[in-house]
């Protein structure tokens, strides 16, 4: 019962921020959804496959390309798909094979970065919406003062609620989206570094 009343009080406090709180809260849900969805996808696609890579390198060194290709096709990660693209063209000049693998890697990275741009947009838009709420709050304060015969703390406090809540929540949502974007980018960067190392080793065996 206490938890329900606490949730209600938080909801009521947020609603005092005015109508501008609706898009800010929606943006928070969107950023959380995108982060979770992208995190799961990147974690699955970019997970290190040391056993797979070592096996492919060993088989490629022994010129057992068909066996290596079968192993790559069994794997569902980005590593498997990229090495599959290279093994299909095994026997061609190393530079040409590298070009095919690079094209496959660029495609995989693009798929990992899908929808991440929205997090960047939210990181910039949410604080701006909060500042719009701040301006609206200040306007409300001066409007109420102009209508009143005397200035009271109650008149000022009414507008300050809206001003402070919108700014605070907008900044929080912006920070969440900004942090989520860069965390996902760090995951992709780690994948890229490992991939470059593994592809380099693979090309040496050709």
Would you say residue 7 lies in a domain?
Answer: no
Residue 50 and residue 194: Cα distance in Å, rounded? Answer: 10
Mean pLDDT of the chain: 85
- Greater confidence (106 vs 76) lies with 106
Burial class (CB in 10 A: 0-12, 13-18, 19+), 162: buried
Query: Residue 151: helix, strand or coil by DSSP?
Result: coil
The range of the structural domain enclosing residue 190 comes to: 18-205
Q: Is 10 within the bounds of a domain?
A: no
Do the domain assignments include residue 143?
A: yes
Backbone phi, then psi, for 19, in 5-degree steps? -65, -25
Residue 53 tokens read as 């890579």
Residues 184, 35: contact at Cβ < 8 Å?
yes
And the tokens for 136? 């609206």
Which pLDDT score is estimated for 17?
61
**Minimal CA–CA distance to 118: which of 4, 12, 34, 22?**
34
189-202: per-residue pLDDT in tens? 999 999 999 888 88
Q: For the chain, give the percent of residues with pLDDT over 70.
A: 84
In a domain, 1, yes or no: no
First to last CA, the chain: 68
Residue-wise pLDDT for 140-181, tens only, equals 777 777 776 666 666 666 567 667 888 889 999 999 999 999
- 86 has which bridge partners? none
Q: Any idea what the Cα angle at residue 21 is, between residues 18 and 25, rounded to 5°?
A: 160
Domain count across the chain: 1
The single residue listed with the structure tokens 């200040």 is 138
CA distance 166 to 141: 15
pLDDT in tens, 102-124: 999 999 999 999 999 999 999 99
| Residue linked to tokens 């060993």 | 58
Residue 161: its pLDDT value, please?
67
Sign of CA dihedral 170, 173, 176, 181: negative
Taking residues 25-53, what's their average pLDDT?
Answer: 91
Half-sphere exposure in the Cβ direction for 41 (13 Å, CA): 18
Domain assignment present for residue 149? The answer is yes
Q: What is the mean pLDDT of residues 127-138?
A: 86
- Whole-structure pTM value: 0.82
* pLDDT tier, 7 (very low <50, low <70, confident <90, very high otherwise): very low
């Amino acid at each position: 019962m206490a938890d329900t009343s606490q949730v209600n009080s938080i909801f009521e406090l947020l609603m005092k921020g005015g109508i501008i709180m609706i898009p800010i809260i929606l943006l928070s849900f969107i950023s959380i959804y995108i982060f979770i969805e992208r995190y799961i996808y990147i974690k699955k696609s970019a997970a290190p496959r040391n056993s797979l890579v070592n096996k492919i390198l060993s088989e490629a060194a022994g010129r057992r390309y068909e066996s290596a290709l079968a192993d790559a096709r069994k794997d569902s990660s980005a590593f498997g798909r990229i090495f599959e693209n290279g093994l299909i063209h095994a026997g061609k000049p190393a530079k040409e094979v590298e070009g095919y693998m690079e094209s496959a890697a660029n495609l995989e990275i693009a798929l990992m970065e899908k929808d991440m741009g929205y997090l960047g947009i939210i990181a910039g838009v949410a604080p701006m919406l909060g500042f719009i709420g701040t301006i609206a709050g200040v306007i409300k304060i001066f409007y109420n003062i102009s209508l009143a015969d005397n200035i009271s703390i109650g008149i000022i406090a009414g507008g300050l609620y809206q001003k402070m809540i919108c700014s605070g929540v907008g900044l929080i949502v912006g920070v969440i989206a900004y942090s989520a974007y860069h965390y996902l980018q760090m995951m992709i960067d780690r994948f890229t570094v490992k991939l470059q190392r593994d592809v380099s080793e693979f090309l040496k065996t050709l």
